[in-house]
Amino acid sequence: MTETRFTKDHEWVRREGEIAVIGITDYAQQQLGDVVYVELPELGRTVEQGKEAAVVESAKAASEVYAPVSGEVVAVNDALLGDPAKVNDDAMGEGWFIKLRLADPTEFDGLMDAAAYDAFVAEQE
């Protein structure tokens, strides 16, 4: 069973067993506009919850992508390097950024579920 959680910085994390798939939300990509560049971490790097894990740049702004959970980078979405617009086209699917091996699965439980995130976004508008 996969479950997706969200952060107040507009990242999503989908848990697939001991692996966490991470990206930015559809709301975040809409706010950024056309994504023109993505910087991904190197494989094997350890990222900490709440710390920078990647960078996304659009025609409007550059923004850090913060790790919703801690873990070791086990995969990066190399397709984004050649086609960063995938983030705009499918932010919650093919536009994923990194996959981590979870260091502390309980961190996942402290994040917002979809209903809480939707309510949070509604407050922002």
- Mean pLDDT, consecutive 10-residue stretches, the chain (125 aa), reads 88 96 97 96 97 95 96 98 96 97 94 96 90
At 124 the pLDDT is 85
Query: How many domains does the structure of the chain reveal?
Result: 1
At 15 the pLDDT is 95
Is-contact 90 71, C-beta < 8 A? no
Structural domain that includes position 33? 3-124
DSSP string, 44-107: T-EE-TTSEEEEEEESS-EEEEE-SS-EEEEEE-THHHH-TTHHHH-TTTTT--EEEEES-THH
Model confidence pTM above 0.85: yes
Is-contact 104 95, C-beta < 8 A? no
Q: Reduce the DSSP state of residue 33 to 3 states and report it.
A: coil
CATH classification of the domain holding 36: 2.40.50.100
